[in-house]
Structure formats: C-alpha cells, structure tokens
Amino acid sequence: MKIFKSKIFILPFLLLISGTVAAQSPAYTYTLEQCIDVALKNNKEIGAYNLKIEERKALAKPFMSADKTNVYCYYDEMNMDNRGCALHVVGIEQSFAFPTTYYYMNKMEDLEVNMAEYELKKQQFLLMKNVASAYYSVQFLEVKKRYYT
C-alpha cells in the first residue's frame, strides 16, 4: 500500500514538471518600438501626468469669469426715515476686475496647461530613454550568452 501512495504523488508531480518545461519555450521577441509602446501605455507616472493636464484644463476658467453676485438685506440704523425708523436696505453687488486682469489670468492658465503638457513630454522621453537603455542591455546580454554557450 505504501508504494501505491508514492505513485499517486509522483503522477501529479510529473504532470506539473511537464507543464513548466513547456512554459520555458522561447519567448516572443519584442522590438524596441513595441517595448516603448507597452511602457508608455502601462506606466502609472505617465497616467498621473495625463491626469494633471486634465486637471489644469478643468481649473482654467472662462475668459470673463466674474465673481459671484452678492445679495444683501439689512436695517441701516445710522440713517433714519421721516418717521424715525431705521431704513430697510436691500441691494445686489457684483465686482469686476480691470479687463486686462482677466486677459492675463487667462494667459497664465494657458501657460500652466502648456507647462503640464511639456512636463508630460519630458517624462515620456525619459521613459523612452530608460526603456531603450534596458532593451539594448538585454540585447547585449543575449548576444553575450549565445557567444559563451
């Protein structure tokens, strides 16, 4: 009975080993462009920079965005009417900045969006440089491995 138990253990073990041997078949070789595309698509930092650009665009206000309108209502006890009662004052107030202020604020927001886009491009170029460096290192090591084996 003890021999039978060891055979039951060996059969799944052999099946497991044959699966790993088949899994070690030669891998698909990627080109440099494919590696760069995969890196740009899957890199979380690049995704964060894309979100930063969208955030800058969302925070940019329209050209003439005025402040909110204020409505106020109070009794003015410093000014009395003919009967000696405090005046009831109701009003609406809104302030506007000088027109060139809006122009320069809009220009500044456009520059912030452009800065975020340039930062994204810079990070993409750094990532492409690192991927290319790693790719050529792997290529060199594979040639070296073929030479010594």
Stated pTM of the model? 0.63
Residue 7: give the domain boundaries: 2-148
What is the model's pLDDT at position 130?
Answer: 95
Q: What is the pLDDT of residue 27?
A: 64
Per-10-residue mean pLDDT, the chain, length 149: 52 51 60 94 95 93 78 82 81 87 90 96 97 94 89
Q: What confidence score (pLDDT) does residue 68 get?
A: 85
- pLDDT of 17 reads 54
Q: In Å, how far are 48, 97, 100, 107 from 66, measured between CA atoms?
A: 31, 8, 13, 16
At 28 the pLDDT is: 75
Question: How many distinct structural domains can be found in the chain?
Answer: 1
